């Protein structure tokens, strides 16, 4: 693991998600750029001192020299955005598979380099766009892919949060500080941090691509350097229209990611606040609520559900679905076996490139008040 | 009443709404342009034959010649859009107050003429933008006006319906036929029929005006002549940003009008599907759900609630709030008394002009793919 | 109308409900036992002075002497419980149909006398158990009657309110005062006021009868003379089991009447807080939410819905369904025609007798800690 | 781990819950009474063959002979009910702490023996009444303990499931088979399996004890040997009244455990279907919804929440809270340190005894139609 030392935020989430299914064991880490802190963080996690490294370069180099049965199988990168590209590239160059937090990197150019490297090495690269790994999101994707709601016409995707409603970055709040700093976060604020989740969710569920977009981004907090709120009109590659709204100043909202997709015959409605339900509206039948405990679900849905039917699952289980699938895929490579297709689905470097292209387009569109539509590469 | 004969849709709603509070009695009508049908419709409603007129001109002329204690006090216009302007103008010219269905007329020019006439005659003109008369919408307006959520930053307003997901107008469905016909409905389809409700709700609740907008309108049903789906970016006159989404092809949706408004300190969330609740989110306190049965509400809210606390009220009660307030205002003029301020609030000719200006701007913006922002007059 | 003068509570509700459909006109009243107050109340309602009577005896006698086309067609009784029996009996004796608030009277003996009188006069007697007139309650009844969920096994019906959580009756609150006074309310408090609604709902929806019950009633507020909270085990005549809970000290609750019925194949779930939805759970299919705007409903449901599909209806509309059906039935008698069967459904004197039998049994059971089961006659 | 081999149900849940926080490592197991199956199950879990035992006696004996740093620290018992007492007693006798699935054993006598043994050995004994470890249940308990809703008056607790609506036990469904078999499940069916969860939740949240109860149990499925549905009237030791309903034939229900508690000043409402929300109703203030992402919660709540505020947590996290707290308590004993009080809260042998006493009383009450109230020891 790279990053995630004492005081970090998302590192512990990655560790819990990786541990959940008993398929992955944390064996080493460069938990902090402060060598002492890295060692202490590793000790907290019951790691031996010689596997706690002072930085990621040291870790990757030393681990690559260990015997295959001892050395780590893959690297998990849980640092702020500006520290994704370097470690990811180095890990790939040294033959390690990678799990990387999102957005994938700082620029679209970096993203393309990573994609090229992944393609040339044929290594596994997973991006933790966690939300698309909820069972009911898998169900929504399959229902649309199987034509249950007909051709998609309309998408409404939104991700309101409220935690940046005040200038928290000035109060030394670590998460707020780097997320509003262009040098660490990239060209976009809310649109990069959570807008990309919305974009990823919309494209994943519908199987469509955003062709062009028109954005209105705004910074409501005086002195903040990046957007904290925005709306985007979307035109999809099949002619469907959409709207995407992401905000970190929607006071009082937690993580209210929600997607609605309407087709010719019906509509799907999923919200992260109640992730175990998928609302299905029909043109001429009563609304249904799909849940894991009752009725027949697609195999892809069932494969990403792990507890007694009808009990609620949450964010960690969705996160763990990515790690578990990555573990299965790595095991299959090690054992030269095949993985069941239902376990091969997780966000990849291609999703990462799309996310960076979305950020580029949305920021460009947001800056200009004249040009209406901006194409996504 | 003008319109609302046998087979009509919204006329019966107007009659129930007008009757509810025992303040208004239906005394005459031109229920249809077919004289025979008008008479039969009137008979259904227990009206004497001599007060059932063959057309609105006849009705207004004959009624105006009756003695003041016999003749109607105001006219209710419940015809399709293209039949609003004529009767409204004639009624005003003959000294009758007017209640008119929305949108107010076919063009912005007509709207301005009506406004001028209302101003010069000083008669009462009410527009049935029903949704802003729900008690909890009144509560939301007052909470914002009293600064409870601070300066407004973000608006999300939406009105998805699904009933035009198929080419219903080709199947001789009367409502679908005139609503998709530019000569009877006006320049906009979904944006005129329900988008104006969303616009009215957003401006009413926030007390703000839309400065400029950027729209993407679309017609999903082949052969349909007007938009059936659209999204609009909004910039409000205080700098707040918003998004408005209205659609009649959101398959499976009923009348899911919903508004969310976020300010510096919290956010309000109201939905017509559960109109008796107002969700209030706070930056640093648990979410609240305001209802009529518990807690303290603004006098404006209480004045528009009429049944035992905690019992659900619906669309008809909201509709009746407009009629009841109009009745109180007319009574006050007749008796030369004052109406309590809480009963003077209903949509007026000014809301009607704003609605037509919104339609104009949104249609213009929707037509051009180059210009990003269109100002509203 | 008998009762419902200035300062009364439920009278205005009855008047609005009666007016809604334009089938009923208020023509006279004995609004108060105070003659002056009765006259003033009538004047508020635009009634002529000679139709405002000083007491119900006067009203019934004088009205019965008017010519049939002038005199009232039926009497509406909206007084406290102890003032139901007298006026109802007198009205029936004088040939007037009756609409009476619930519970029907003070004792089971009175109830049986009324039933006998209704049967011998063949007059219409309606009891305003309002909740069973919601469209979605009609739908639930029909679904069970048509076997959609199979044989009923389990009922859960509950009616929590919180408004009597404090000794409001000592603070001169008029509603609290008579409802907690055995001489005006009868043998039961919460169980009479709202428990009977729950009982009526359960028997109406399932078509079953309560065979025997076991109650635990309690008075939480010191000095209160009647029960304010209770739970009841139910055994139905088909072997189904149930539980009924009614409380007026469930602090914070409004009027949260809810019923769940489970059969062999599925379960129904309806709540007055969201009366426009009927949740239908299936053994092996996703949950459905029936609403008036989408899908196919039973004719009985459609007949009790009156506004544009998908708009919320509330308590007044349910109340009006009783009045409208009564009006249709009276009209049919006057015109010697047939009423469509779907409009003949409203609570009758038989429901009133059952309600009083329920009160008797529940109070008896609640008083004894030894005998477990009490049969309902 | 004892039990939980291939094909088992709850064993995998225990393993995930134990792994989540990185504090517990599975080191050995007797996963099946079939030695070969136990070995294969252990191999699936990456355990060395010599730590996979053929039965629990062998495991406990051999592990107790290993050096303290190698041998297991505690035993997890995940077998059907009839296989709890033996292994638990043997583990305690050999000095191992115990985590045991619920209900604790087959009879109240067994339960008391276990309690005596736990008291004499001073070992840790945790019972996986999972539901009381949800963060919002902790919050509810603290709110009541701190007097926020005043003296408790009324409890409504319910646990409907629908999965036994058909005679699944005759179709060789393993879970159904043992749960409906008195020799493996004990004296109660639904009341033992899920009724005890409801009982535990009610007593945990309120801090009260059930004094006496009155039950109506029923078996709806012909040929089934144990109750599959029942309602219970409750009288608590402070005078509060309650009703408990548990059913496995409530067709279409998943695991709809819900508790409502009303006090003098307000009411709490928590449901496992949306476990991240706690609805708080107030006598004279709008309803609140407490969630982990907004507002201030008790330290006990925060200590049992582990992911980014506002993301949903589920059943596994609640389950893991028990294991994590047990791990912290065992670590503290090993290191001779103190555990923060907020981590010492998990269900113990005393909850187990109370659960068995509840089962005894409820079954006895259910069997007799004469005696109304049965006291709980």
CA nearest B295 in D: which residue? D285
State how beta strands A97-100 and A152-160 pair.
unpaired
In whole angstroms, give the CA distance from residue A147 to residue A168.
45
Angle, in degrees to the nearest 10, between helices A349-367 and A196-206: 120
Q: How far is CA C377 from the centre of its chain?
A: 20
Contact status, residue A354 vs residue A200, Cβ threshold 8 Å = yes
Average pLDDT of span B4-28 = 93
Give the number of other CB atoms < 10 A from CB of residue D152: 23
Q: What is the gyration radius of the CA atoms in chain C, in angstroms?
A: 21
- CB-CB: which of D283, D284, D286 is closest to B288? D286
Q: How far is B82 from chain C (nearest CA, A)?
A: 21
Closest residue by Cα to residue C17 from C315, C352, C306: C315
- Residue D306's closest chain A neighbor by CA? A13
Q: Testing the interface with D: which of C227, C236, C251 to mutate, by most D Cβ within 10 A?
A: C251
For range B95-110, the mean pLDDT: 96
Inter-chain CB proximity D287 and B288 less than 8 Å: yes
Option in C45, C252, C312 nearest B273 (CB):
C312
* List of residues 6+ apart from A358 with CB closer than 8 A: A191, A195, A196, A199, A210, A213, A376
Contact B295 D281 (CB under 8 A): no
Rounded to an integer, what is the distance from CA B69 to the centroid of its chain? Answer: 30
- What's the residue count for chain B? 377
Judge whether residue A235 has pLDDT over 80: yes
- D132: nearest Cα among D322, D356, D305: D322
Question: Residue C131 to residues C190, C262, C272, C323: CA-CA distances in angstroms?
Answer: 16, 20, 8, 13
Contact A213, A376 (CB under 8 A): yes
Q: Profile chain C (377 residues) by mean pLDDT over runs of 10 residues.
A: 90 95 95 92 94 96 95 96 96 98 96 98 98 97 98 98 96 92 96 98 98 98 97 98 98 97 98 96 96 88 88 95 98 96 97 98 95 94
Q: What is the DSSP string of D44-99?
A: HTT--GGGB-SSHHHHHHHHHHS-TTTS-SEEEE-S-GGGTHHHHHHHHHTT-EEE
Q: What's the CA angle centered on A139, arms A137 and A140, to 5 degrees?
A: 65
CB D227 within 8 A of CB D217: yes
Residue C146 phi/psi, 5-degree rounding, is -90, 10
Vertex A209 angle, CA A208 and A214, to 5°: 125
Q: Which chain D residues contact residue B286 at CB under 8 A?
A: 280, 288-291, 294-295
| Nearest in space to B259 (alpha carbons), one of B358, B359, B131 | B131
Closest by CA to C105, choosing from C130, C136, C77, is: C77
Contact C55, C28 (CB under 8 A): no
Cβ proximity of C196 and C102 under 8 Å: yes
Nearest by CB: D287 against B281, B282, B289: B289
pLDDT at B198 > cutoff 80: yes
* Closest-CA residue of chain C to A285: C295
CB count in 10 Å sphere of residue D223: 9
Q: How many residues does this entry show for chain D?
A: 377
Residue A59 predicted with pLDDT over 80: yes
- The continuous run of DSSP H or E covering C224 comes out as none
Token couple for C376: 């309902």
Among D287, D288, D298, the residue to mutate for chain B (most B Cβ within 10 A): D287
Greatest Cα pair distance, chain A, in angstroms, is 64
Question: What is the Cα–Cα distance from A187 to C117, expressed in whole angstroms?
Answer: 83
Collect all residues of chain D within an 8 Å Cβ-Cβ radius of residue C154. Answer: 220, 229, 247, 249-250
Positions of chain D with pLDDT lower than 50, given as ranges: none
Quote ipTM for the complex: 0.95
Q: Which chains touch B (3 or more CB pairs under 8 A)?
A: A, C, D
Distance from CA of D113 to the nearest CA of A (A): 31
Strands (E), chain D: 74-77, 97-100, 125-127, 152-160, 210-218, 229-236, 241-247, 258-263, 266-271, 277-282, 287-291, 374-375
Confirm if C81 and C305 have CB atoms less than 8 A apart. no
Residue B295: list chain D partners with CB under 8 A.
282, 284-286
Cβ–Cβ of D291/B286 closer than 8 Å?
yes
Give SS3 for B375.
strand
For Cα atoms A360, A364, A367, give the angle at the middle one, nearest 5 degrees.
Answer: 145
Alpha-carbon dihedral sign for residues B232, B237, B241, B242: negative
The pLDDT assigned to B360 comes to 97
* Cβ atoms of residues D56 and D87 within 8 Å: yes
Of C165, C251, C267, the CB nearest to D251: C267
Helix (H, G, I), strand (E, B) or coil at C44: helix
Distance CA A329, CA A339 (A): 6
Q: Does the pLDDT at position A280 exceed 80?
A: yes
Nearest to D176 by CA among D217, D141, D128, D225: D225
Q: Which residues contact C67 (CB under 8 A, 6 or more apart)?
A: none
| pLDDT value, residue C295 | 79
Q: What are A328-366's pLDDT values in tens digits?
A: 999 999 999 999 999 999 999 999 999 999 999 999 999
**Chains contacting A with at least 3 CB pairs below 8 Å?**
B, C, D
Strands (E) in A37-132, as ranges, are 74-77, 97-100, 125-127
Distance from CA of A47 to the nearest CA of D (A): 11
In chain A, which ranges are E strands? 74-77, 97-100, 125-127, 152-160, 210-218, 229-236, 241-247, 258-263, 266-271, 277-282, 287-291, 374-375
Instruction: Say what the pLDDT of residue A148 is.
Output: 98
Task: Identify all chain C residues contacting D373, using CB atoms and an 8 Å cutoff.
Answer: 369
Q: What is the pLDDT of residue A292?
A: 85
pLDDT category at A294 given cuts 50, 70, 90 is confident
Neighbours of chain C (3+ CB pairs under 8 A): A, B, D
Percent of chain D clearing pLDDT 90 (strictly above): 93
CB D346 within 8 A of CB D335: no
Q: Which residue of D has its CA nearest to C267?
A: D251
- Interface probe for B, chosen from D276, D278, D286, D294 (most Cβ of B below 10 Å), is D286
- Which of C29, B75, C57, B158 lies closest to A258, judged by CA? B158
Q: If pLDDT is split at 50, 70 and 90, which confidence band does A37 have? A: very high
User: From chain B, which residues contact C within 8 Å (Cβ)?
Assistant: 9-10, 12-13, 15-16, 19-22, 26, 45-46, 161-163, 252, 254-255, 272-276, 291, 293-294, 306-317
- List residues of C whose CB lies inside 8 A of any B CB: 9-10, 12-13, 15-16, 19-22, 26, 45-46, 161-163, 252, 254-255, 272-276, 291, 293-294, 306-317
């Amino acid at each position: 693991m790279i990053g995630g030392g004492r005081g970090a935020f998302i590192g512990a989430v990655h560790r819990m998600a990786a541990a959940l299914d008993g398929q992955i064991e944390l064996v080493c880490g460069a938990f902090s750029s402060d060598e002492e802190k890295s060692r202490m963080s590793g000790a907290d996690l019951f790691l031996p001192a010689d596997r706690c490294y002072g930085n990621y370069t040291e870790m990757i180099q030393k681990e690559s020299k260990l015997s295959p049965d001892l050395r780590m199988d893959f690297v998990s990168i849980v640092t702020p955005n500006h520290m994704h590209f370097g470690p990811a590239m180095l890990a790939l160059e040294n033959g390690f598979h990678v799990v990387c937090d999102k957005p994938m990197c700082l620029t679209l150019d970096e993203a393309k380099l990573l994609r090229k490297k992944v393609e040339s090495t044929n290594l596994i690269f997973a991006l933790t766009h966690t939300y698309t790994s909820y069972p009911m999101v898998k169900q929504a994707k399959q229902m649309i892919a199987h034509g249950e709601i007909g051709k998609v016409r309309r998408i409404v995707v939104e991700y309101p949060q409220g935690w940046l409603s005040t200038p928290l970055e000035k109060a030394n709040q670590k998460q707020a500080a780097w997320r509003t700093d262009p040098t660490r976060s990239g060209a976009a604020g809310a649109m990069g941090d959570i807008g990309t989740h919305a974009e990823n969710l919309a494209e994943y569920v519908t199987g469509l691509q955003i062709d062009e977009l028109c954005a209105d981004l705004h910074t409501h907090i005086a002195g903040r350097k990046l957007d904290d709120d925005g709306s985007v009109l979307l035109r999809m590659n099949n002619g469907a229209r959409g709207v995407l709204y992401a905000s970190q100043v929607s006071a009082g909202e937690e993580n209210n990611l929600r997607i609605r997709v309407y087709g010719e015959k019906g509509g799907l409605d999923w919200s992260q606040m109640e992730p175990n339900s998928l609302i299905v509206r029909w043109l001429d039948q009563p609304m249904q609520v799909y849940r894991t405990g009752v009725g027949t679900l697609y195999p892809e849905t069932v494969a990403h559900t792990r507890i007694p039917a009808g009990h609620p699952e949450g964010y960690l289980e969705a996160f763990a679905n990515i790690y578990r699938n990555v573990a299965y895929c790595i095991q299959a490579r090690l054992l030269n076996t095949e993985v069941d297709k239902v376990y091969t689905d997780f966000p990849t470097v291609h999703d990462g490139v799309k996310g960076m292209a979305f950020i580029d387009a949305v920021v460009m569109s947001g800056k200009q008040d004249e040009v209406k539509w901006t194409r996504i590469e």
